Amino acid sequence: MSIREKGYHRWDGRLEERRRGWKPIARLGIRLAFKRKHFKFAFSLSFLPAFVFLAGIYLSERLQDFEGIVRKGAMPLRVVPGYFLSYLTADFVLFMTVVLLIFCAAGLVADDLKHNALQLYFARPLAKRDYVLGKAAVVMFFVLLLTLVPGLLLVVFKIVFSGSFGLLRDHPGLPLAIVVYSAAAAVFFASYSLLLSSLSRNRRTASFLIFGIYVFSDMLAEILRGIFRTPYVGLVSVKTNLKLAAAPLFGTKPVLEVPSVYAFVVLAAVVAAGAWVMNRRIRGVTIIK
């Protein structure tokens, strides 16, 4: 391969002063996630519950069409805010969210640390917050795709299938609750995964931590509940905290007899820890080497 197969040409364009320096980072992160092996399969699979809940909405509105196969005295399916909460905090949805994080988030910071890429980023006119926001946006994109988009579409389909705005009339705060929960879940999962990704220089270790802590915290909570017989040990579980925090937004009873504010505090602590660790890890690499 000879050097200078083509001559060097000056570029006469103008460099933009970006206000959203995080956008190219987010775009590339999303693109790279789809290039990973098995990601598309996992991504498609994670929408399965949305279709099941959609079918549920359809059935609830067309119950008379299925009278022949429905057991007599069976409770009719009621599509109320709790129904949407069930979708958003379904074990399978949360589990698939974590699986997607393994693909799209584990290497976000770990790979940059391993390959000394931070200096490439910060030799550009890029602020630390742009970097963090860009990486977080990758996670938030996928979490919102699994929560916000299906959540709002389910509301839309409920209106379409019922032919009335009865749901919104009776529960006007429902869309906002879906938006707030989805946004909070997106922020939490972004902080959770970036925190763990920045703790290691190895993508596999970060993947193991993301998956392991989610699963192990749930198991640990169950074990502790068996030992101490108090619902408060549920606060150890990532999944339970998300469910506890979501309940008041949708006006439903919490899964455990624990004030939701405690769950908010635990989730907020994870977000704060994520921000703190990211800040230290980035400064450690770019400033003093």
Partner 1 sequence: MSAGKTVDIELKDIAYSYGPIEALRGVSLSLGAGATGLLGPNGAGKSTLLRILLGFLEPDSGEGRVLGYDIRFERDDIRRRVGYMPEDDCLLPGMDAVTFTSYLGELAGMPRQEAMKRAHDVLFYVGLGEARYRFLETYSAGMKQRLKLAQALVHDPPLLFLDEPTANLDPRGRTDILELIADIAAKKDIRVLISSHILSDIESVCSQAVILNKGRVAALGRLADLRQPNFNLFEMRVKGGSGKFLKDLTGLGCRVEETEDGLLRVFMPVGLDRKKVFRLAAEDRTQIRHFLPSRTSLEDLFAQSVGVEG
Residues 128-147 interacting with partner 1 (rule: CB under 8 A): none
Print the SS3 string covering 211-252.
HHHHHHHHHHHHHHHHHHCCHHHHHHCHHHHHHHHHHHHHCC
SS3 content of the chain, % helix, strand, coil (to 5): 75, 0, 25
CB of 122 to partner 1, least distance (A): 7
Question: Interface mask (CB under 8 A) for partner 1, residues 22-41, using x and -?
Answer: --xx--x---x--xx-----
Question: Interface mask (CB under 8 A) for partner 1, residues 94-123, using x and -?
Answer: -------------x---xx-xxxx-xxxxx
Cα atoms in the 13 Å half-sphere on the side-chain side of 68: 1
Site membership for partner 1, residue 75 (CB under 8 A): no
- The conformation of residue 77, written as its DSSP 8-state character, comes to P
CB of 233 to partner 1, least distance (A): 40
CB of 141 to partner 1, least distance (A): 17
Residues 224-283 interacting with partner 1 (rule: CB under 8 A): none
Residues 186-215 interacting with partner 1 (rule: CB under 8 A): none
Instruction: Name residue, tokens 């006006």.
Output: 251
Measured from the CB atom, is 69 or 288 closer to partner 1? Answer: 288
CB of 14 to partner 1, least distance (A): 8
CB of 124 to partner 1, least distance (A): 4
Candidate residues 124, 129, 204, 280; the one interacting with partner 1 per rule CB under 8 A: 124
Site membership for partner 1, residue 42 (CB under 8 A): no
Site membership for partner 1, residue 3 (CB under 8 A): yes
Q: How many CB atoms lie within 10 A of CB 56?
A: 17
**Considering CB under 8 A, how many residues would be counted as binding partner 1?**
42
Q: Report long-range pairs for 250-254 (Cβ below 8 Å, ≥24 apart).
A: 250/81, 250/82, 250/84, 250/85, 250/174, 250/177, 250/181, 251/81, 251/173, 251/177, 252/81, 252/82, 252/85
Rounded distance between C-alpha atoms, residue 197 and residue 105, angstroms: 7
- Contact window for partner 1 (CB under 8 A) among 5-13, 49-57, 188-196, 264-272: 5-13
Q: How far is CA 212 from CA 111, 196, 206, 261, in A?
A: 19, 11, 10, 25
Task: Please choose, from the candidates 124, 103, 114, the residue with its C-alpha nearest in 3D space to the C-alpha of residue 24.
Answer: 124
- Contact window for partner 1 (CB under 8 A) among 8-16, 88-96, 147-155, 161-169: 8-16
Q: Which residues bind partner 1 (CB under 8 A)?
A: 1-11, 13, 15-18, 21, 24-25, 28, 32, 35-36, 107, 111-112, 114-117, 119-126, 286-289
